[in-house]
Structure 1
Amino acid sequence: MEKDTGKKVKIALMLSLIISLLFFTGCWGKREVEDLAPLLGVGFDLGEKPGTFLITNQYAQPKKEKGGVQINDRTLSVEASSARQAFEKMSKILNQTPFMGSLKVIVIGEDAAKAGGFNDILDFDQRFAEFRRSMYLVLAKGKAQDLLNLKLGSEVLPALYIKDLIEGGDELSAFPTVRLGHYLTILGTKSTAPILPVVESVKPGEGAEYEAKEKGKAEEIRIQGAGVLKEDRLVDFLTDEETKGYMWLENDVVNRSIDTMSLAEDSVKFGGQVLKSKTKYKVEMNSGKAELHYQIKTSIAIDEVLGLTKQLSGPEWIELVKEAEKSFAKVIKKECETSIKKERELGLDYLGIGRHIEQKNPRYWKTIKDQWNAEIADFPVSIEVETIVHHSGMSSSSAINS
């Protein structure tokens, strides 16, 4: 009897396993990589017809070759009134299935940014299931279409090149990194103006000398400066110095090259590398009104001394390092002050000062939030900068006197 019962249990288990296997889908619906057209970059420019955008999509075309997969470029532009309409038009042209989940960067052209209205296009990017909110947003100097169609000397696709520049940005900490999710969060705050890094093409001699393969062609891309938006309309560009000031005040400096060349009164100039930086802020009440105090503390390694013409003794070198600390602090404070000055001129709070007040004193914020843009011009802000040199190099003499 026990043997019959055990036999029946085994048969029941076998039948259960067989039935379960029928419900496994396996890999029947898989798509080979060479059958897909991964989307890497999207550009928005104004279309010729009213109410339309010129939408540029940069796809990668993977092709199997000996030793691996070759990535080719296929960049298409169509005029459409919506992102969905543009993708439909492109899908009719592509001989591969578009895959949206690989999108790395969205480039907003200067004309489209100044005209405004591109948030309606971005709405598709946050709703469509294949897209991710981690994609990067940048502003283009000029047309996004031209930027995505560049043939770079490195032969890297422009969308991937921009992505690599952004992800290596911590080494410079000279421009903000803005993902779609962060941009949408800032829009939701109402009081803070969005800010996006600016991407532009660089010809030989514009910041770097190199040999162009084709004369008259732009061969490189750089990120420098930023654009300030009012909702989704570009109001003005920030200079490199103003953008660097924003990075200090936003506590976004990880590593930074810094020099004192702009300080005309200093006879000896210093160059260094920021090792660590921390920015804190305090909101204090003074006669019933709020004031904001920034405190920046930075450690720096000196890696260059210019204008030193004599051998220094130990005590003299210590005094020189103290002067270097003061000089670096002046540069940092100057960058911050230029950014604050720009904010006052624009009447747009891209530094997020209102957000700081709301966090520290929400009751007071309720009394000023409705007229905050008018308050920005005269709102009291102070900056305190402390720099510490933690490494001053291997020599206390100049190269010509060592």
Structure 2
Amino acid sequence: MKPGKFLLLIYISLTLMIVPGCWSRRELNSLSISQAIAVDLEPDGKIVLTFLFVKPDSGQKQMGGGSGSGMSYVLVSEKGETLFDTQRDIYLSLPRKLFMGQNSLVIYSEQAARAGLGPLMDLFFRHKDFRLTNYVFVTRGKASDMLKFQPNLESNPVREIFGAITYAHMRVSKTIPKDIKDFLIDLGAPGIEPVLPEIELVPKLAGEELPQSGSSGGGGPSQKTKLRLAGMAVFKEDKFVDWLSPDETRALHFAVAMGHLGIEIIPGPSDKKLAVEIIGGTSKIKPIVKNGRLFIRIESTSAANIGETMGVKGIDNPDLINELNKETENVIRERIEKLVKKAQKEYRSDFMGFGSAIWREMPQYWKEIENEWDELFTEIPVEVVVKVDIKGIGMASDYSNER
């Protein structure tokens, strides 16, 4: 072997011995692993960050059958001028290095959202550990309170919230999951304003309250309230405007094809009511220029089943099914029309994405009206076309028969 190649081989071998070292490793037992962050804004403009950390030995205690008197997580809060400054001051109360790579939720108070979420998200999409797939919520009260309730089934509030948002929108359609990436995309896209899901704590019903064992000392999580996901927060650019109710959120699902699922209560014969289960569908927002005038057409098509008859007879009658199709269409159409009116006249926020539809379908026309869209949006005529097809009536016949 030539001397030059031999020296090169030695150099490469020595380099390989040095380079693979774990220079950037982070030992698990040296980290404070954050699972949720609550962001509150005080009247004086100070930011309050609250982190939920899972205790490192909580899993061992649960597997070992401990007393269960202690919580498996801890909350740590700090106050500061900016998010970055406040996040660094958390170290004044932490015995380990903060790690946000496993964080899954960010909750903002209404006051913080009114001030504008753009500056209050800047740290998160710049931080090397933070993932933009974190779910984002807005709450009417203090954001930190949303990390203090007693979870029903899970070991900590974060897992309870994460599970609820994962399944609720697929079964109920009264909420819409959004992550930081979704918010930033809507914020930067033309012709659409962001929305974020609302999260709140509501009093437990009488049948839900269980007797507490041991002392009921203060400082622990509230056992008189429970998590509830219902409705959405509407924004104009990055600033909070107002709330959508659960029914208005359902209308948003139907209008923009975020999900055609859930239950509609429909009037039936003899003043009885039926539950119609929406099982799927499609929607399209169509911008149309006719005779030089722009208008929007919302086309919503849904498939459905009869979920509950509440004593209505003859549910297999084709004439009754046709009547129920029309009643369901009327309910959905009226709901969408009310939402459009609220968006245009009250909130003046194009969170349904009419402008975005124009930008996609008529890019040249959008360039002509883009600068005037805020005013044009409030006056543009909107036509709502709804089609419902009830395909199934269930496996059971009428539960009682005339004798």
TM score, norm. by length of structure 2: 0.86
Alignment of 1:46 onto 2:41: yes
Alignment of 1:36 onto 2:31: yes
Q: Which of 267, 283, 306 is the equivalent residue of 1:302?
A: 306
Q: Deviations over 1:340-390 (max 9, x none)?
A: 121022211111111111211122223322222222232111111111122
Alignment-mate amino acid for residue 14 of structure 2: I
Map 1:1-16 to 2 at 5 A. none
Secondary structure, aligned partner of 2:208: coil
Alignment of 1:242 onto 2:248: yes
Secondary structure, aligned partner of 2:309: strand
Q: Which of 261, 269, 272 is the equivalent residue of 2:273?
A: 269
**Do the aligned residues in 1 keep the contact of 2:46 with 2:80 (CA within 8 Å)?**
yes
**Do the aligned residues in 2 keep the contact of 1:60 with 1:72 (CA within 8 Å)?**
yes
Moved more, 211-220 or 286-295: 211-220
Query: Equivalents in 2 of 1:17, 1:242: separation in Å?
Result: 65
Alignment of 1:327 onto 2:327: yes
Q: Which of 259, 265, 268 is the equivalent residue of 2:265?
A: 259
Alignment of 1:382 onto 2:388: no
Q: Deviations over 1:325-351 (max 9, x none)?
A: 222212221221121121022211111
Query: Equivalents in 1 of 2:52, 2:176: separation in Å?
Result: 24
Cα pair distance change 1:146/1:212, threshold 3 Å: farther
| 1:21 positional shift | 4.5
| 1:67 positional shift | 7.8
Aligned length: 387
Q: Deviations over 1:236-290 (max 9, x none)?
A: 1111111111111110115323322xx4887342213222211123222112111
Equivalent in the alignment of 1:102: 102
| 1:225 positional shift | 0.7
Alignment of 1:127 onto 2:126: yes
Equivalent in the alignment of 1:19: 14
Cα pair distance change 1:32/1:67, threshold 3 Å: farther
| 1:25 positional shift | 3.0
Map 1:224-235 to 2 at 5 A. 224-235=230-241
Secondary structure, aligned partner of 2:95: coil
Cα pair distance change 1:396/1:65, threshold 3 Å: closer
Equivalent in the alignment of 2:89: 89
Alignment of 1:58 onto 2:52: yes
Alignment-mate amino acid for residue 55 of structure 1: L
| 1:210 positional shift | 0.9
Cα pair distance change 1:34/1:273, threshold 3 Å: farther
Cα pair distance change 1:112/1:386, threshold 3 Å: same
Secondary structure, aligned partner of 1:235: strand
Query: Equivalents in 2 of 1:373, 1:209: separation in Å?
Result: 49
**Do the aligned residues in 2 keep the contact of 1:201 with 1:218 (CA within 8 Å)?**
no
Secondary structure, aligned partner of 2:337: helix
> Structure 2, unaligned stretches of length 5 or more?
217-221
| 1:15 positional shift | 5.7
**Do the aligned residues in 2 keep the contact of 1:278 with 1:297 (CA within 8 Å)?**
yes
Instruction: Give me the CA root mean square deviation.
Output: 3.0
Cα pair distance change 1:389/1:265, threshold 3 Å: closer
Fraction of identical pairs, as percent: 24
Query: Equivalents in 1 of 2:368, 2:238: separation in Å?
Result: 27
**Do the aligned residues in 1 keep the contact of 2:195 with 2:232 (CA within 8 Å)?**
yes
Alignment-mate amino acid for residue 193 of structure 1: E
Query: Equivalents in 2 of 1:66, 1:301: separation in Å?
Result: 47
Equivalent in the alignment of 1:219: 225
**Do the aligned residues in 2 keep the contact of 1:153 with 1:213 (CA within 8 Å)?**
no
Secondary structure, aligned partner of 2:352: coil
> Structure 1, unaligned stretches of length 5 or more?
none
**Do the aligned residues in 1 keep the contact of 2:268 with 2:324 (CA within 8 Å)?**
no
